Amino acid sequence: MEPEVIPAILAKTREELLHRVARVEGLVSEIQIDVMDGEFVPNKTVGIEDLLQLPVLKQRGARYEFHWMVKDPQRWIERITGPHMHLVHVETIGREAMGEAGGSLDKIVQAVKQSGGRLGFAINPETPVENLLPYAKKAERVLVMTVRPGFSGQSYIYDMEHKVRKLRELFPKLDIEVDGGVNNETAGHAYKNGANILAAASAIFSSQDIKGAIALLKKQALTGCSHKPH
């Protein structure tokens, strides 16, 4: 599986969000938008009103990936329409989250279906990979957090690669994404261990040459390891 680089956007305002979208539009087939509610994680980004009527991406087949670091993700997803990827944290689907105030799996699946989107699942560093396995069969994509969610600019947690390896072993054809601390040094490690999708923020948006930064990340993923994952 060839590596794919996805720019990750963490924005506090719609203006900042649209500015970053414009910087990478046409260069990639997918753009990740990090959404935080200040409850599930200790940070808050753009709200649901800021996510409505986002620009249609010009590149044919391009779409958004929404990384929902929020409580009750189905309440956000049902407001978004289009063939986008919705990444929901398994931590919001546990028994403690199955009540009226939580996000049951059935409600999430229904919300994604009604939105016309696609469903994926994300897992935090402290959560055992076994918690993700029951959902992986229902997913088109899984995301392994390689930093603790909430803030950009953190260091890549190499210990999370055991989760990626386990997932790749069990699901050879599944899209496996890593998010957090991905840069020119860590991209090769992530890809070697089985991640075919690399979400990067600082490594892309801190560069004056966005196109070059994306190309370099992909090159480093391919050449920065001794062999491709099985």
Residues known to be catalytic: 34, 179
Q: What's the rounded Cα separation, in Å, for the pair 230 and 222?
A: 14
Nearest-angstrom CA–CA distance, 152 and 193: 23
Q: Where are the alpha helices (DSSP H) in the chain?
A: 14-24, 48-51, 73-77, 105-115, 133-136, 161-170, 187-192, 202-205, 210-223
Query: Could you tell me if 48 and 42 are in contact, meaning their C-beta atoms sit under 8 angstroms apart?
Result: no
Closest CA to 146 of 201, 209, 223, 228: 201
Q: Which residue, among 39, 6, 12, 42, has the nearest Cα to 149 in the 3D structure?
A: 42
Angstrom distances, CA of residue 8 to CA of 39, 101, 135, 184: 20, 29, 23, 15
Classify burial at 123, counting beta carbons within 10 Å of its beta carbon; exposed 0-12, middle 13-18, buried 19 or more. buried
